[in-house]
Amino acid sequence: MYSSDKIFSIINNYIATLAYDREPKSLYEPIKYVLSLGGKRIRPVLMLLAYNMYKDDPESILNQACGLETYHNYTLLHDDLMDSAPLRRGHQTVHEKWNANTAILSGDTMLVLAFERITRGNPSCLKALLDLFTVTALEIGEGQQLDMEFEHRNDVTEAEYIEMIRLKTSVLLACALKMGAMLGNASEKDANNLYLFGEKIGLAFQLQDDYLDVYGDPYVFGKQIGGDIISNKKTYMLINAFNKATQKQKEELNYWINKKDFDANKKIKAITKLYTEIGIDKLAIDKINRYFEESKIYLSKVSVNDKNKQELINFAQSLMHRKK
């Protein structure tokens, strides 16, 4: 069995050697740039770990794994453009380094490359892979649209938020695991249980992002703490703060949310204090842990021995205990 660290290294080396031989170079340079910025490579790592539970040659599906990573980075490129974000992983975003039109066109090309990389090698389960990937890509777009619509609503429920992050984040992790299982010739039952395992891990992962945005260490988290608070983003934290606040606490929350001119640090400090008083920090941790425990149920149903599951378990645990 390969360790997640070894798989991570293999993926990074493979991405670094991907050739972009087509013209014009100006279309492909931003793509190579985006993929060179690194990241956790969670999705291809999950795919190779799932595959490695069934077969001993995970390098054989690097095309498909990097296709999924190409797709993920395409969504980030377009998200950054929509959000007018200046930085991604400490580097200029594509629309800042080049321009918005380049970001749109290079992003669209990344989507095509993602499909092309997934189809390389002509695996016997190609149609099933493409069917899964197509539905996943549609769901992620649906999740992004819901996220944008939530910006203009003040009545977003917890259930709606959970469904949005399932679509926007969880389904791609689930897709990665199921693809790995399918390419490893796993049974349909195993592939489906790995998908459900990934969904639960994905929900816990995104909720942890919400938590770290408020309570993380800025030096470790790698980005500004309180960004969601400053932008009044409808997160699990904010939604439940309104659900559980006293009348006085609701008035203070509304004061900061409706205030147009404010000191960012004061707003972050005030709302964080309210979250702690209301108990949102503990509520979020409980929810994260609950999803993680639920994920284990699905993994336990996968019909490979525990030794073959261990690297996947270790990697999932590392995601749950991350600080950034």
In this predicted structure, what is the pLDDT of residue 224?
66
78 and 214 share a domain?
no
In this predicted structure, what is the pLDDT of residue 324?
66
Q: How many CA atoms lie within 13 A of 309 on its CB side?
A: 17
pLDDT digits (tens, 9 = 90+) for 193-223: 999 999 999 999 999 999 999 998 876 655 6
Single pTM value for the model:
0.95
83 and 232 share a domain?
no
Does some domain include residue 147?
no
Please tell me what DSSP assigns to residue 169: I
Q: Judge whether residue 5 has pLDDT over 90.
A: yes
Of the listed ranges 20-34, 113-127, 140-154, 220-234, the least confidently predicted one is 220-234
Mean pLDDT for 42-58 is 98
Which helix (H) or strand (E) covers residue 87, if one does? strand 87-88
Among 152, 162, 166, 158, which residue's Cα sits nearest to residue 243? 158
- Residue 48 backbone class (left: φ over 0; alpha: ψ -120 to 50; beta: rest): alpha
Of the listed ranges 134-138, 156-160, 223-227, the least confidently predicted one is 223-227
In this predicted structure, what is the pLDDT of residue 242?
96
In this predicted structure, what is the pLDDT of residue 124?
86
- Mean pLDDT, rounded, of the chain: 95
169 and 106 share a domain?
no
Does some domain include residue 130?
no
Q: Judge whether residue 262 has pLDDT over 70.
A: yes
Q: Which domain holds residue 176?
A: 165-323
In this predicted structure, what is the pLDDT of residue 83?
87
296 and 197 share a domain?
yes
140 residue type, one letter: I
pLDDT digits (tens, 9 = 90+) for 12-42: 999 999 999 999 999 999 999 999 998 999 9
How many domains does one find in the chain? 2
Q: Among the residues of the chain, which ranges form H helices?
A: 4-16, 25-36, 42-52, 62-83, 94-97, 100-119, 126-150, 158-165, 171-183, 188-215, 218-221, 227-230, 236-244, 247-258, 264-278, 280-300, 306-320
pLDDT digits (tens, 9 = 90+) for 146-186: 999 999 998 999 999 999 999 999 999 999 999 999 999 99
Q: Judge whether residue 76 has pLDDT over 60.
A: yes
In this predicted structure, what is the pLDDT of residue 217?
82
Does some domain include residue 157?
no
Q: Work out the number of other CB atoms within 10 angstroms of the CB of residue 324.
A: 13
Q: Judge whether residue 87 has pLDDT over 90.
A: no
Indicate which CATH number applies to the domain containing 34.
Answer: 1.10.600.10
Domain termination site, one of 95, 121, 147? 121
